[in-house]
Structure 1
């Protein structure tokens, strides 16, 4: 059955999957959502016998219904190949009383690789299907990981250019080095004087600038997005939750149909929304545990039903979650509002106006699938240390937020169901924070000394993504104020 995509903010004409991927964001500023969530059409035991690539096809074919089997398999096989350092693509590792779904085995050692390895292929295929002649300009804001993963995915891809904005002082040293050393004639990286929310708001503003779109079209360009607001990012993320369940079943850790819990460290809400979609496809997930850091806007939302970004912005050791406007939450709000675009638009206008909105009791009742909590900086560091001392397993700061919140959930509920924790980045990406958490004595070491020491204590080889930036030259040193983002884009495009 065909799946078509609608905007969360108006009842405009629906679009196909390939059109939604190309546009990224709807013309009215809304996000594209499927008109229904398709059900898995393979049994869980069938999925248990499949490779990652095969599971990805079985999930994605149900959402991307205007792609042919050949097109989709071609995209999948080009994405999930030797760029990943394990054939399993997303292995599960048992540590203490949970399974850590390692989503960081791609070329930039963060979970964004899982979707951004395939997005360029989906986009180029979509452009062909829709007879697009313009050059596609990928415009994206990053809180650290999306930027590098998108740059790596789109570097030197014919018919595309990519511009990444990141908060100049809001990412880890390794994250910044990964971005500013990026090769590729079509790549452009800009540090903005502001935080991630400023970057994201600026990008959305550029997207909705009708005059600029017209000017771009005349010059042979059109914008698209690689942020998690693009449905081409969200659909591939559903696959790894299905694969994780299938692996647990294959390994005899659960029985077919047995429910599991899933814990996700959450910033922009895309990764946990993918788990919610997987549950609605029929995957036996019970609780979706939403883990926040000290920027606990989502924890407060699940507790009170009020989303309020009017608060101090906290820079933490888990910077990819330092977000006060969780863009993908809009897709969930639209759904619990009964797919009512007018109601959703009213709430989103309130958010951009006075910075907050409140959902109704009826809407709140539909959030029973979710549990929200947060971990402070001290709790995050303590969890890294605890897991290392108990199991010898080293996790990054974002995964530690999730792991600490899972601990709180178990204490609060007594629920010991088999649990999968999304491990969203390699500890090598946040070496200083991780090593300081294990023992403060490491703080005297240099960044790359720490890398070698982490490799030694974790008994894990230093990833290629880190080795290649040790001596790489800085190729991008552009900075700008938030109000100059549009001018910076035009300058790069020679407009």
Structure 2
């Protein structure tokens, strides 16, 4: 049995999908609802519509309805709620309200909570144990307008000098603490529309098996009996048949009014809402997901906006994806993915994350996993393989600064494709993986973009870029934009395709290649040909890739889930180094994406020209995107260039582009010199800090030999886990 099969058995044996609710006696109803005899508890601020929505939901389901204000509090106190609040004051009111709720018992009902119930911990824990808490997340401005019209005067905290907006902002933390499912209400949603969302939320919660994953190479008939959840694919990484995992039923589509709600939110808030829609709450509950998201996108990013969008020139905007700790767009996924991975791990197993990198992924993975703590850190190790001569000096220094603990980088005297191919071979060698499992109790996984948990967070920043343009008045929601992505492994481009599937009006995803141009050639001709094709180093090494892993997901997407076709094509690529798609499929590919390429000279010229015009210094990958966008984009709508790395990471090439002489050899001095040259963006604090603290250190270099890399894997396992044991 191969290691991934062992892994899947371990994961699926340990992780039991039990009904999360215990049974209890009902004093009102024994009629079955969607959740059996459990309650549906509607939570939200005053004015959210809990009472009205609750009555209609109850009617639709044929269930009793309970309004806590009318049916619990006023019957307990024998006075109106407003009078009670006026008599005892806010603090005493919350305590007595909580005590009343603690004495409340019901099952199989729709219960409309008060706006202040979530502020009492014991009371909320009591009712949460009885059912599903659904948070009616209504825009605060809508709430303020409703309460003004209603002339409500019975809200705890409604005192002189305290605005209703302040009260709502304060309470939001409590609503997000207790929710099981969020119902995001768009501005202008009718009561009936909110009711439909509530019913769909309940159905989604109880129908976990609707949100499973399949391999891009799966036969739909053969895979129909397999149940693979989000928590499985995070740990497993690569499917057992060699394919990549994708959601069986695609992405949720979000309506325009919900997108408009997100325009006023911060990046972490947007990420939380979107990821909640893509990750079933029984895989990762919203409260746990919130903790991870806000840790991932906090003070570790040098920009409060996380992934800000800035006007560049003409109709071009740049999304700066380099404000994370390693100055690369990979941080947007890899500050979150390790937390998801650790959360989904089954107990009593060690996991070694194997990563092949063409530069940026390596340091981002090492940074993300090194931030784990406690048992999570002791049960996971990270081993990165990178081409010795295929990354920039600063990238190399970033990666090799990790020498202790659970993270290590080793260079290989070959190119990225060899590193990636070798790791895939290790996953497929049942003798090796079985040996590692039996001898060391260690399972292999991956943090490359073939892992779904790597790709999913990237969807967020493409959506966020569009929302920023809406917020800033550049476009109105519904108007199209184009996105231009420098791409080699196609993960970044694929995440833009998925953002479009969720409802972001992306007209075209423009794929920008350097002179290796494998993606451009395929999209233009439909032929993927590696025969006798050498990988040529470039000034943009992160896209020096010939075998594009995520292209599998794209072909699966445009072929409408034809796993047999995907398996046939990529098996042929593995064995014959070549495949050709037929004309109808090529037509669908070209409807989704455009593709172009950029020479080395044009890349450097673009950096020089933009700096001369605007003072902005692009890195070499962003420059590739700009050159291709200039050639292919028709200027009829805005285009967002994905700036995937800070210019300082490729300082020598940037100096060459800017025609700066007498370049210092020391990387720290290079960054200082570049910082004095560039008006924007600012120098990256974390890159500078890393180089100043770590300095130049030796690192392991190994031959391009499969058995040598296997020895590195075994050595890493021994160092990471045996010493701990």
Q: TM-score range, shorter-chain basis?
A: over 0.9
Which stretch of the first structure deviates more once superposed, 88-97 or 477-486? 477-486
Q: Distance in 2 between matches of 1:492 and 1:422?
A: 35
> What's 1:26 paired with?
239
> What's 2:483 paired with?
262
> What's 1:351 paired with?
573
The answer to whether structure 1 residue 382 and structure 2 residue 605 are counterparts is yes
Higher relative contact order (CA 8 A, sep 6+): 1
Q: Indicate if the aligned counterparts of 1:199 and 1:482 stay in contact, CA closer than 8 A.
A: no
> What's 2:260 paired with?
45
> What's 1:151 paired with?
366
Q: Distance in 2 between matches of 1:94 and 1:28?
A: 44
Q: Distance in 2 between matches of 1:481 and 1:369?
A: 37
Q: Distance in 1 between matches of 2:683 and 2:584?
A: 51
Q: Indicate if the aligned counterparts of 2:216 and 2:553 stay in contact, CA closer than 8 A.
A: yes
Q: Indicate if the aligned counterparts of 1:163 and 1:189 stay in contact, CA closer than 8 A.
A: yes
Q: Distance in 1 between matches of 2:661 and 2:550?
A: 40
Q: Distance in 1 between matches of 2:597 and 2:272?
A: 34
- Report 1:28-427 matches (<5 A): 28-35=241-248, 36-40=250-254, 43-65=258-280, 66-97=283-314, 98-127=316-345, 131-155=346-370, 157=372, 158=377, 159-218=379-438, 219-310=440-531, 311-367=533-589, 368-410=591-633, 414-427=634-647
Q: Distance in 1 between matches of 2:684 and 2:235?
A: 36
TM-score after normalising by structure 2: 0.66
Q: Distance in 2 between matches of 1:202 and 1:275?
A: 28
Q: Structure 1 pair 30/132, CA: closer, same or farther in 2 (3 Å)? A: farther
User: How many residues get paired?
Assistant: 489
CA deviation after TM superposition for structure 1 residue 442, in Å: 4.5
CA deviation after TM superposition for structure 1 residue 133, in Å: 1.9
Q: Distance in 1 between matches of 2:587 and 2:368?
A: 40
CA deviation after TM superposition for structure 1 residue 396, in Å: 0.1
Q: Distance in 2 between matches of 1:144 and 1:461?
A: 19
The one of 716, 719, 725 equivalent to 1:492 is 716
RMSD after superposition: 1.6
Q: Which digits, 9 at most, give the CA deviation of each residue in 1:145-191, with x for residues without a partner? A: 10000001112632210000001111100010111111541112111
SS at match of 1:441: coil
The one of 207, 215, 229 equivalent to 1:16 is 229
SS at match of 2:211: coil
CA deviation after TM superposition for structure 1 residue 467, in Å: 2.8
> What's 2:143 paired with?
none
Which stretch of the first structure deviates more once superposed, 81-90 or 33-42? 33-42
Q: Indicate if the aligned counterparts of 2:535 and 2:544 stay in contact, CA closer than 8 A.
A: yes
CA deviation after TM superposition for structure 1 residue 10, in Å: 2.2
Q: Indicate if the aligned counterparts of 2:322 and 2:329 stay in contact, CA closer than 8 A.
A: yes
SS at match of 1:190: strand
Q: Indicate if the aligned counterparts of 1:40 and 1:59 stay in contact, CA closer than 8 A.
A: no
Q: Structure 1 pair 374/14, CA: closer, same or farther in 2 (3 Å)? A: farther
CA deviation after TM superposition for structure 1 residue 238, in Å: 0.2
Q: Distance in 2 between matches of 1:184 and 1:150?
A: 15
Q: Indicate if the aligned counterparts of 1:183 and 1:475 stay in contact, CA closer than 8 A.
A: no
Which stretch of the first structure deviates more once superposed, 479-488 or 156-165? 479-488
Q: Distance in 2 between matches of 1:184 and 1:17?
A: 31
SS at match of 2:433: helix
Gaps of 5+ in 2: 1-203, 205-209
Q: Indicate if the aligned counterparts of 2:309 and 2:319 stay in contact, CA closer than 8 A.
A: yes
Q: Which digits, 9 at most, give the CA deviation of each residue in 1:409-458, with x for residues without a partner? A: 13xxx333111110000001000101110115254664333211110111
Gaps of 5+ in 1: none
Q: Structure 1 pair 386/163, CA: closer, same or farther in 2 (3 Å)? A: same
Q: Distance in 2 between matches of 1:345 and 1:389?
A: 49
Q: Structure 1 pair 163/230, CA: closer, same or farther in 2 (3 Å)? A: same
SS at match of 1:162: strand
Q: Which digits, 9 at most, give the CA deviation of each residue in 1:57-79, with x for residues without a partner? A: 12212221132111211110111
SS at match of 1:365: helix
Which stretch of the first structure deviates more once superposed, 56-65 or 86-95? 56-65
SS at match of 1:163: strand
> What's 2:198 paired with?
none
Q: Indicate if the aligned counterparts of 1:18 and 1:64 stay in contact, CA closer than 8 A.
A: no
Q: Indicate if the aligned counterparts of 1:5 and 1:14 stay in contact, CA closer than 8 A.
A: yes
Q: Distance in 1 between matches of 2:447 and 2:381?
A: 11
SS at match of 1:366: helix
TM-score after normalising by structure 1: 0.96
Which stretch of the first structure deviates more once superposed, 217-226 or 475-484? 475-484
Q: Which digits, 9 at most, give the CA deviation of each residue in 1:236-268, with x for residues without a partner? A: 000001111111111111011111110000010
SS at match of 2:556: helix
Q: Distance in 1 between matches of 2:436 and 2:386?
A: 23
Q: Structure 1 pair 103/156, CA: closer, same or farther in 2 (3 Å)? A: closer
Q: Distance in 2 between matches of 1:392 and 1:486?
A: 47
SS at match of 1:286: strand
Q: Indicate if the aligned counterparts of 2:350 and 2:441 stay in contact, CA closer than 8 A.
A: yes
